[in-house]
Amino acid sequence: MSSTQKDKTLVLDIASFTKEEVISAALNTAVDLSLPIAIWRMPHQSEIHLVLSIDDAKKINSIDLDELKTGFLIAPFQFGKLPAHFIEDDFHLSLDFDEVINNPSSVENEGNDKLDQIKITFETYLTRNIKAKHYHLNPKNTDQAPIDYRHLIEKSVTAIIDRQFDKVVPARSKNIEIPDDFSPVDLLIDLCTSYPNAFVSFVSIPKIGTWIGATPEILIEKADNTFKTIALAGTQNVDPLKPISDTSWTEKEIEEQAMVSRYIINCFKKIRLREYEEVGPKTVQAGNLLHLKTTYAVNTIDTNFDELATVMLNLLHPTSAVAGMPKESAMDFLNQFEKLNREFFSGFLGPVNLENSTNLFVNLRCMQLLDNQARLYAGAGVTLDSDPEKEYQETEMKFKTLLDVVNRQL
């Protein structure tokens, strides 16, 4: 090992510690030093990543993915009016889900005093084995005023009848109590185990707050020379007695998913992109729910469109799956009648430029961790055939994605 390589090595052999102990030490370090941290697990993978930045998360008002460094991006639903936040990976560890630490010495050190402090603090917490219970809170967070969600659905259908738009996706929130000994690390690990097909994430930023979730929906994926996005809509409970291939969908659910697909294709048309691969729709499982999914892929070399991921990110968000169609009129309706501060719910998040890959997901099936409470968020796609009670129950089903796991922690 060269002297340069030695400078990049943590003093401790953290391979002898469990992933829970390593994540707890990293979270305690972030809280102690008032630093932003992101932890995530990609779908269908076992490896857990975590990054800490030596500085505050950077506020970003416009995104060029090719210009960003390696790190983690989280953006609110109202991105454009509100900034995104970017956590650079000054301190980056990868943990294998089977209790083995991958590349534990890949933490760079160029004599930076702040990075040295992170390493010393991290190693101190690791040797003391102090379980993380704290996380960053948003001091400006306020209670969300209760809304009559069924009445909002009725108002949405009336607006569709009046031809204001074809679809809208109103959301609601629900607060639950969490005990003093609640462990965010245990919840994160449990989510990874319970939802192997989801993007599981934990993001905690000083003065911004803490969000945790397990989302099934890719917004954009950029890897090598391929760009991907998906249309995901339609929701029903998994029937454990019936194969997924035998799932039946109503006309309303099929049309709702078709609207999302048409929205993506219309974005392609806006940039005169005609060469893309379309696969679906097909039924897929996401935790306790089933959805209809269509995948779109583009070869960026064949289309001579290296900047496609950035262009499509700006065109797609917010998608018709979280806002409605047409986007502008649906957003106007939500801004006037929804009466909910979604914050990062139905925004997007994920790793950027990590190992030549960028993966951003729509922030669904998520909750915000508050002081002794957690706030869950969910929405339902409303079309002409929507029934208020059924849409309300759909949001209850979506809450269960996290509630089922949270209840095991209580």
Which CATH number is 233's domain given? 3.60.120.10
Q: Establish if 254 belongs to a structural domain.
A: yes
Q: For Cα atoms 36, 42, 46, give the angle at the middle one, nearest 5 degrees.
A: 110
Q: Establish if 194 belongs to a structural domain.
A: no
Q: Establish if 251 belongs to a structural domain.
A: yes
Q: How many domains does the chain have?
A: 2
Whether residues 123 and 154 fall in one domain: no
Whether residues 246 and 291 fall in one domain: yes
Q: Establish if 341 belongs to a structural domain.
A: yes
Whether residues 53 and 176 fall in one domain: no
Q: Establish if 205 belongs to a structural domain.
A: no
Structural domain for 235, as ranges: 149-180+214-403
Look at the block and give the residue holding tokens 């169609």. Answer: 325
Whether residues 96 and 235 fall in one domain: no
Whether residues 222 and 303 fall in one domain: yes
Q: Establish if 136 belongs to a structural domain.
A: no
Whether residues 73 and 171 fall in one domain: no
Sequential pLDDT tens for the chain (410 residues): 333 333 444 666 777 888 999 999 999 999 999 999 999 999 999 999 999 999 999 999 999 999 999 999 999 999 999 999 999 999 999 887 555 454 443 445 555 788 999 999 999 999 998 999 999 999 888 787 788 999 999 999 999 999 999 999 999 999 999 988 899 999 999 999 999 999 999 999 999 999 999 999 999 999 989 999 999 988 898 888 888 888 999 998 999 899 999 999 999 999 999 999 999 999 998 878 899 999 999 999 999 999 999 999 999 999 999 999 999 999 999 999 999 999 999 999 999 999 889 999 999 999 999 998 999 999 999 999 999 999 999 999 999 999 999 988 76
Using the Cα atoms of residue 303, residue 304, residue 309 and residue 315 in order, give the sign of their dihedral: negative
Whether residues 248 and 362 fall in one domain: yes
Whether residues 227 and 270 fall in one domain: yes
Cα–Cα distances in Å, from 57 out to 199, 212, 220, 380? 21, 17, 22, 31
Whether residues 299 and 373 fall in one domain: yes
